[in-house]
């Protein structure tokens, strides 16, 4: 791998730099309730320049968190060190999306071994969480909020697994910037302020959440300095005592007491027995590139299935404004999500036919179901045995070209809505994704991991790292990743334009909980910038299409130029973030 030479100048273009095509435009949209103005996205056009650097780079959804990671790199830390520090900062600065009350997944490229490694740092259902328990209480589905939606938070153990295997700095050093910000405060940016404000009613339902996250009785507005000294104290405990204080020590005991006081199912055994799992990434080829995801219980292989189906079409010839292209994207998504609803589950409890699902032969058979002139409804899963949501994503590449693609989430905004006020973080609601149907692959079982929406992405070219990226936003994640890759590979956009280009999001496909959906084919949410003639043609083919200002998601990416070895960073305008490098 390339070893950078002399140090380059710091590159930090976090503010939007409007291109000439946008300068003449007067149409703007509002992101969040605080009024973050964004230009209408256009295919192949970007509202800000690609960030370029020679040595190291960080891209994530909060500028201050990105700079913390960059500081770690410049002080000699590696990509994993920086990723942990950035994630800790995001848990403080974007608390509705992520935090140590949630789970983590990562793909790491290790420059020494020239190999990819996958980490599943998600938590399991409490031992007391049985289908019989919910049936006896009259539940047909697991609640989306409250203590019964909890699974064990896996983030902190994920940090330790990453640090122990690949890191070079002590946890105390990586947490110090976030501890300082927690105690001294930081200004809240536009998009995050909008998310925060939209969660006010949810946070008011629980005294601990209101005390921590609604200072002065309301969400902090744009530019307001927010402090979270309780989370600062929690981070100090982690810095002093390490991972075990969360799963065996003081924090674990506080979480169990909190659970008992609020009718939850956590026991100390649930925490002491917790462990992350190193897994082999799963890949497919797409037009000469190797695309990598993590295996279930996440939905990452949906990206691979969609790409396999799309590879049978000349998308470059169709172009990004063709109704045929968008029709294909929706129809292929329906087919893949039907499989997702049937097969994706914890492989320790269910047989998941991963190799068959991501196989080219299976794609050939499923492709036969696509009618280019008509939208399908009620799509069934295939037979692979042929032979909502808040999330934070970050990516880091260091001077040695170690790479980290990391995604971390509470699931819903502020997770379950419950916060132990003395700890300063919300507890996730991942458990709501279990099914209570005894015949469902993703059925609730004690000690089982639920289906997961958060997926880090990675692309190699000729066995070398090429593109580290992710797209946030629940069911949008595989759809968004595929659209970014098509923009980049088929349509020739740069990494910034590939993320900013207008997207569609299809909603209403079969759910991983077994809940009945998609009887009418679902709805296509088309962002501003999708031409009206395209929308009219999709409707003619039977699609239900609605116009939206912004779909779910938020993309970050770093591309390593194979010829120059220069890093190309991107962070699109659906979030507050930026790419920074040196």
Residues annotated as catalytic (active site), given as ranges: 391
- DSSP-assigned letter for residue 50: P
Give the single-character DSSP code of 435. B
Task: Please check whether residue 57 is in contact with residue 51, taking contact to mean a CB–CB distance below 8 angstroms.
Answer: yes
The CA-based angle 116-121-122, given to 5 degrees, is 135
DSSP E strand boundaries for 451-520: 457-461, 464-471, 504-507
Q: Which residues pair with 372 in a beta bridge?
A: none
Which token pair is 384? 């692979």
Q: How many CB atoms lie within 10 A of CB 51?
A: 24
CA distance 547 to 477: 19
Residue written as token pair 């005294």: 207
Number of Cβ within 10 Å of residue 438's Cβ equals 10
Count of C-beta atoms within a 10 Å radius of residue 546:
10
- Which sign, positive or negative, has the C-alpha torsion 174, 14, 471, 93? positive
CA nearest neighbour of 78 among 163, 175, 12: 163
Token pair for 428: 């996730």
Q: Which two tokens stand for residue 54?
A: 């020679």
Write the DSSP symbol of residue 440: S
Could you tell me if 433 and 389 are in contact, meaning their C-beta atoms sit under 8 angstroms apart? no
8 Å CB contact between 205 and 46: no
Question: In angstroms, rounded to a whole number, what is the distance separating the alpha carbons of residues 331 and 328?
Answer: 5
Integer Cα distance of 536 and 323 in angstroms: 9
d(CA 351, CA 341): 14
> Cα(151)–Cα(412) distance, rounded to whole angstroms?
13
Cα–Cα dist 141/516, whole Å: 12
Report whether 128 contacts 145 (CB < 8 A): no
Pairing of strands 457-461, 544-548: unpaired
């Amino acid at each position: 791998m390339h070893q950078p030479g002399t140090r380059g100048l710091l590159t930090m273009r976090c503010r939007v730099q409007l291109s000439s095509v946008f300068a003449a435009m007067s149409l703007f949209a509002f992101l969040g309730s605080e009024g973050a103005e964004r230009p209408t996205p256009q295919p192949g056009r970007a509202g800000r320049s690609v960030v370029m650097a020679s040595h190291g780079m960080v891209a994530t959804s909060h500028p201050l968190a990105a700079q913390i990671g960059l500081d770690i790199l410049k002080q000699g830390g590696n990509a994993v060190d920086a990723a942990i520090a950035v994630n800790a900062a995001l848990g403080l600065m974007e608390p509705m999306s992520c935090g140590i009350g949630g789970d983590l997944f990562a793909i790491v490229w290790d420059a020494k071994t020239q190999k990819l490694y996958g980490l599943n740092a998600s938590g399991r259902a409490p031992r007391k969480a049985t289908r019989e328990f919910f049936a006896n209480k009259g539940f047909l589905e697991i609640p989306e909020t409250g203590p019964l939606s909890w699974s064990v938070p896996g983030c902190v153990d994920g940090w330790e697994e990453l640090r122990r295997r690949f890191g070079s700095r002590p946890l105390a050093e990586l947490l110090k910037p976030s501890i300082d910000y927690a105690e001294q405060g930081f200004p809240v940016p536009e998009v995050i302020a909008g998310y925060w404000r939209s969660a006010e009613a949810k946070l008011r339902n629980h005294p601990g959440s209101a005390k921590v996250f609604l200072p002065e009785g309301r969400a902090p507005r744009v530019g307001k300095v927010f402090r979270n000294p309780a989370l600062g104290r929690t981070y100090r405990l982690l810095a002093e005592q390490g991972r075990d204080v969360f799963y065996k020590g003081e924090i674990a005991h506080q979480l169990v007491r909190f659970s008992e006081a609020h009718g939850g199912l956590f026991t100390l055994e649930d925490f002491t027995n917790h462990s992350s799992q190193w897994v082999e990434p799963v890949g497919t080829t797409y037009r000469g590139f190797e695309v990598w995801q993590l295996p279930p219980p996440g939905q990452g292989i949906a990206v691979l299935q969609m790409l396999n189906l799309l590879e049978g079409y000349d998308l470059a010839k169709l172009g990004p404004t063709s109704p045929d292209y968008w029709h294909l994207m929706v129809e292929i998504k329906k087919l893949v999500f039907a499989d997702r609803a049937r097969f994706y589950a914890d492989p320790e409890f269910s047989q998941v036919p991963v190799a068959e699902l991501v196989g080219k032969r299976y794609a050939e058979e499923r492709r036969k179901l696509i009618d280019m002139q008509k939208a399908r409804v009620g799509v069934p899963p295939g037979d692979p045995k042929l032979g909502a949501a808040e999330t934070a994503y970050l990516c880091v590449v260091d001077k040695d070209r170690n790479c980290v693609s990391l995604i971390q989430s509470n699931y819903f905004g502020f997770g379950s809505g419950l916060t132990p006020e003395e700890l300063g973080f919300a507890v996730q609601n991942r458990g709501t994704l279990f099914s209570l149907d005894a015949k469902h692959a993703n059925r609730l079982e004690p000690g089982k991991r639920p289906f997961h929406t958060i997926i880090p992405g990675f692309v190699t070219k000729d066995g070398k790292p090429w593109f580290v990226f992710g797209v946030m936003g629940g069911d949008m994640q595989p759809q968004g990743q595929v659209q970014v890759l098509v923009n980049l590979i088929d349509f020739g956009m740069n990494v910034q334009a590939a993320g900013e280009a207008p997207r569609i999001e299809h909603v209403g496909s079969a759910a991983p909980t077994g809940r009945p959906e998609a009887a009418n084919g679902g709805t296509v949410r088309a962002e501003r910038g999708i031409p009206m003639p395209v929308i009219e043609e999709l409707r003619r083919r039977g699609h239900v299409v609605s116009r939206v200002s912004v779909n779910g998601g938020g993309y970050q990416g770093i591309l390593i130029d194979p010829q120059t070895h220069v890093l190309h960073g991107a962070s699109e305008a659906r979030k507050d973030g930026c790419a920074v490098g040196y």
